[in-house]
């Protein structure tokens, strides 16, 4: 839920997605995976000048981890820049994981443009709700975090609304997950911004001062 919240509310617009996979021989310790990921992210910062990013981890059917990284960097419309960046990504990841598989060098990474500005956010939200590829294989240990982001990729409020707790409970009436009277109101109300927009535009009630 936190990943979906961050992806839906960050002002950063992601324009490129990188997918990193492992060869036939892959680590079964999450600490090793995070070392590889950190090396690749450090390389990205040197290569692109500190881009903003959001990454998340999944497991393939064969049990191997793979990582998606979304960037605010855009390779432009010419394929020359994209192809050159793809080659550098492939060779760098190949080197960082210590792969000796030439097939992995050719197919171990994928770089694609995100043509729809909201496509990356929808993909991240869909990933957050998809549990099939989050089941940790029984022989995998120290999985650690499933996702992370750079410092700028944080939720930003679009405005402030002054209202009472009774107002909030009234706004949430009919919501499947609304807290009952004995429970405090949630500090974060996921995907409920439209209710407050309607409240402030007098569609539900007068916005209190």
Q: pTM of the prediction? A: 0.80
The pLDDT, as a whole number, for residue 208 is 44
Nearest in space to 60 (alpha carbons), one of 5, 124, 134: 134
Nearest in space to 19 (alpha carbons), one of 125, 114, 143, 154: 114
With b for 16 or more beta-carbon neighbours within 10 A and e for fewer, the 121-153 pattern comes to bebbbebbeeeeeeeeeeebeebeeebbbbeeb
Give the whole-angstrom CA distance, residue 120 versus residue 73: 13
Note whether 141 and 30 are within 8 A (CB). Answer: yes
Q: Which domains does the chain have, with CATH numbers?
A: 2-149 (3.30.70.1910), 158-209 (no CATH)
Give the whole-angstrom CA distance, residue 76 versus residue 81: 7
List alpha helices for 49-158, DSSP H. Answer: 79-96, 102-107, 119-129
Nearest in space to 117 (alpha carbons), one of 156, 72, 53: 72
Any idea which residue has 């090793």 for tokens? 32
What confidence tens digit (pLDDT) does each residue in 31-70 have? 999 999 999 999 999 999 989 999 999 999 999 999 999 9
What confidence tens digit (pLDDT) does each residue in 107-152 have? 999 999 987 767 777 777 777 776 666 789 999 999 999 999 999 9
What confidence tens digit (pLDDT) does each residue in 73-112 have? 998 888 889 999 999 999 999 999 999 999 999 999 999 9
The pLDDT, as a whole number, for residue 79 is 85
Which phi and psi angles does 32 have, rounded to 5°? -65, -40
């Amino acid at each position: 839920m936190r990943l979906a919240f961050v992806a839906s509310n960050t002002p950063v617009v992601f324009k490129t997605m990188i997918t990193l996979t492992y060869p036939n021989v892959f680590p079964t310790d999450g600490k090793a995976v995070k070392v590889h990921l950190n090396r690749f992210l450090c390389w990205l910062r040197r290569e692109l000048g500190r881009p903003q990013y959001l990454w998340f981890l999944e497991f393939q059917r064969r049990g191997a981890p793979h990582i998606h990284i979304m960037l605010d960097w855009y390779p432009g419309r010419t394929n020359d820049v994209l192809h050159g960046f793809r080659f550098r990504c492939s060779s760098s990841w190949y080197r960082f994981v210590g792969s000796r598989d030439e097939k992995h060098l050719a197919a171990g990474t994928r770089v694609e443009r995100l043509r729809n500005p909201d496509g990356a956010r929808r993909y991240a939200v869909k990933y957050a709700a998809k549990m099939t590829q989050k089941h940790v294989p029984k022989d995998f240990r120290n999985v650690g975090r499933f996702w992370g982001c750079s410092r700028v990729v944080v939720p930003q409020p679009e405005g402030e609304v002054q209202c009472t707790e009774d107002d909030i409970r009234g706004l949430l009436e009919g919501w499947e997950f609304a807290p009952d009277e004995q429970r405090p109101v949630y500090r974060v109300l996921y995907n409920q911004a439209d209710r407050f927009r309607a409240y402030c535009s007098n569609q539900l009630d007068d916005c209190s001062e």
